[in-house]
Amino acid sequence: MRSFSRFSCRLALAVSVLATPFITAANTSSASTTANNLFEAKDIFSLEYASDPQISPDGEKIVYIRNSNDIMTDGKNKNLWLIDVDSKKQMPLFSDDKQYSQPRWSADGEKIAFVSNLTGSYQIHVHYLKQNRTALVSQVQGGVSSLTWSPDGKWLAFTQLVADKRTVIAKMPKKPKGAKWSKPVVVIDQAYYQADGRGLLKPGYKHIFVLPSEGGTPRQVTHGDFHHKGKLAWNKASDAIVFSANRISDWEYKSLEGDLFKVMVNDGELTQLTSTPGKEFNPVFSENGKKLAFLTTSNALNPYRNAKLNIMDWKTNKSTEVASDFDRSIQDPQWLSSSLLAISYDDFGKRKLATISTKGKVKDLTDTLVGSSIGRPYISGSFTASSEGYMAFTQGSSSRPADVSVINTRKKLVKLTQLNEDLLAHKSLGKVTEINYKSSFDGEPIQGWYVTPPNFDPKKKYPLILEIHGGPHLAYGPHFSAELQRFAAQGYVVFYDNHRGSSSYGERFAMLLKYKYSSKEDFADHNSGVDAMLALGFIDEENLFIAGGSAGGIATAYAIGLTDRFSAAVVVKPVINWLSKVLTADSGLGQIPTQFPGMPWEHVEHYWKRSPMSLVGNVTTPTMLMTGEEDLRTPMAQTEQFYQALKLKKVDTVLVKVPGSPHGIAGKPSRMITKIEHTLAWFEKYKSKSAE
């Protein structure tokens, strides 16, 4: 890559902005704020963000997915854009009404493979940069995942579902010609048979295929009634692929297991490389092919497990764990040299991009890695590294969704895109501020943040919304959030925290919720945060509101069974009765052994104690309930149980069903707006005059 020197002035500006992440032009506003420069519901359709930035092998170019919303179709556009790092100029590689994903560079940097529906169905294409020509190279049936080039550039590997026939138990009589019978029954005999957002799963197994990069017939190289998916790693000779799979006979019941395998491309010969209890995954070869880095997690029946970095000597197959005492979960290792890797990890509400030596020394590069979670302020973000020592990553802040930036091992950072300046530079946004306090339950330190409205005056009193994250082993942070900015624009202070059980604080903190999800303990973390906000002096104690989705919806429903301090609540896609939830949702196989002490019929009292339904007799808080009609993670019946219980108690409550929506209730722009505006309307209904 060419020198960064010509960007020294711009770099100094970028560094100064990073040093004060919460103070931006968008956070400072004039004395008067007009409706036009507040963040409005319709602005959500105008937001853009970058994802999956892929840096070329020489570090000179970056291809990334530019995500935008379509107000006419209520869908998302995913286009490919190409950036010249040295000049910072970008150009559309493919920008139209089609969808593009998985852009991947060939080892020589002359071609980019990707998946698109350019021809009507999703197929693999290869774009030749110098010739500016694109070839359709596949004619596959079904979705393509894990697209990966071979080092010699001759092959593309990918995974795809190989369909199987559904089970048939009874032979039906032949239907008379012209007769109209009901649709045939569907017989299910798998333990894992449904998935949120996908419905009933098609019978079959994911297998690895190879395809000539110039086009041809895909060839299946793995076999058996097992799934082979995730990251694929070609060896240096381009004649074998390393991957992770769970090939245990009762794999459906052993979701915490997985081993590394090597398959020879020519004849499909399979060799098992690891057999350690737990899961080995995410293999990646060093450039010289002598070392294989991979991640491991234990098979302990815990709801949270750190991922550890391991390095295998390819010649001897001997593996060594690196940085064993590093109490964070390592993600996405990528080689920078034969002794240095780039990694990301979550730490105190932020995702960090760092390097780690083969001896285990970790060096942070930046904590501004963010991603595609623009609705709520979840930790997210991705990067890719080149052997030249440069990394492309998605960078953002509390006031901007993800852009594309580049950084090197000397921490020289350059921001390459400004996807939302046309919209957000002219908006007065809420300012995000960190707050730290101790839980009243046991004095555990808790980290949180609050968003203040535009033109905030600390001498005034503002209504407060407590917004609780999902997971529960996820985390919020000081990141852009369309939902919370809308609340702030309407005059609310929004408070959110990373209560016990949240990720990014190490295993001990995450495990504090083992067998206690939900409980008085995590409620104390939230409630103490509300007290800490009141102590700041600008919160109206007569106007406290609470909301949350998924695990946050559970926590919200649980909280209003323990306190009546909130004027109103919005409970989104909750679990209300764990006894029925784990046996009807798509997540029971993994959730029962890791989050509960045993089967529900063996531990009825425990499951019931964790259920908000056990506290429903105490609820007096006006409550809005909202869930997607096609939610298989927290099925609609959960929400309906709470709704009917509250109606029987004559508590003011409404049920909002979102047609066609799975668990990701804000997956479409209009659905995100629906969620936000219904929440605001419900809170406005119960906001007392003292807040006006």
Q: What is the pLDDT of residues 565-610, one digit of tens each?
A: 999 999 999 999 999 999 999 999 999 999 999 999 999 999 999 9
Query: Can you tell me the distance from the alpha carbon of 573 to that of 198, in angstroms, rounded to the nearest whole number?
Result: 17
pLDDT at 35: 67
SS3 state of residue 397:
strand
Query: Can you tell me the distance from the alpha carbon of 686 to that of 439, in angstroms, rounded to the nearest whole number?
Result: 28
Flag whether pLDDT at 28 surpasses 50. no
pLDDT at 692: 52
Give the pLDDT mean for 297-314: 96
pLDDT at 142: 85
pLDDT at 373: 85
Q: Tell me the pLDDT band of 17, cut-offs 50, 70 and 90.
A: very low
Closest CA to 216 of 284, 135, 99: 135
Closest CA to 219 of 157, 161, 165: 157
Query: Can you tell me the distance from the alpha carbon of 461 to that of 562, in angstroms, rounded to the nearest whole number?
Result: 26
Tokens, residue 22: 């919460």
Query: Can you tell me the distance from the alpha carbon of 230 to that of 232, in angstroms, rounded to the nearest whole number?
Result: 6
User: Is residue 147 within 8 Å of 229, Cβ to Cβ?
Assistant: no
Flag whether pLDDT at 21 surpasses 70. no
pLDDT at 7: 29
Give the pLDDT mean for 303-314: 97
Task: Mention every residue, 6+ apart, whose C-beta is less than 8 A from residue 59.
Answer: 1, 85, 386, 388, 389, 390, 406
Give the model confidence (pLDDT) of 316-350 as tens digits.
999 999 999 999 999 999 999 999 999 999 999 99
DSSP 675: H
Strand partners, 212: 155
pLDDT at 31: 39
Fold exhibited by the domain 428-686: Rossmann fold (3.40.50)
User: Is residue 143 within 8 Å of 160, Cβ to Cβ?
Assistant: yes
Flag whether pLDDT at 15 surpasses 70. no
Q: Please state, as a whole number, how many other Cβ atoms lie within 10 Å of the Cβ of residue 486.
A: 25
Which value, in Å, is the radius of gyration of the alpha carbons in the chain?
26
DSSP state letters, 230-260: EEEEE-TTSSEEEEEE---TTGGG-TT-BEE
User: Is residue 42 within 8 Å of 670, Cβ to Cβ?
Assistant: no
Closest CA to 48 of 369, 370, 372, 351: 372
Geometric angle at alpha carbon 315, from 259 and 156, rounded to 5°: 60
pLDDT averaged over every residue in the chain: 93
pTM, two decimal places: 0.92
Measured in residues, the chain has a length of 692
Flag whether pLDDT at 388 surpasses 90. no
Give the pLDDT mean for 38-46: 96
Tokens, residue 596: 């509960």
User: Is residue 309 within 8 Å of 293, Cβ to Cβ?
Assistant: yes
**Residue scoring higher pLDDT (11 or 458):** 458
Q: Lowest-confidence range among 75-84, 162-171, 622-631?
A: 162-171
Q: Are strands 568-572 and 623-628 parallel, antiparallel or unpaired?
A: parallel
Count CA within 13 A, CB hemisphere, residue 439.
Answer: 19
pLDDT at 511: 97
Tokens, residue 398: 């509390």
Give the model confidence (pLDDT) of 136-180 as tens digits.
999 998 899 999 999 999 999 999 999 998 889 999 999 999 999
Q: Please state, as a whole number, how many other Cβ atoms lie within 10 Å of the Cβ of residue 428.
A: 24
Residue extents of the structural domains in the chain: 428-686
Q: Lowest-confidence range among 17-21, 28-32, 192-196?
A: 17-21
C-alpha separations of 72 from 202, 462, 661 in Å: 31, 36, 18
Flag whether pLDDT at 687 surpasses 60. yes
Q: Tell me the pLDDT band of 690, cut-offs 50, 70 and 90.
A: low
Tokens, residue 403: 């852009």
Query: Can you tell me the distance from the alpha carbon of 165 to that of 490, in angstroms, rounded to the nearest whole number?
Result: 54
Give the model confidence (pLDDT) of 219-262 as tens digits.
999 999 999 999 999 999 999 999 999 999 999 999 999 999 99
Q: Tell me the pLDDT band of 33, cut-offs 50, 70 and 90.
A: low
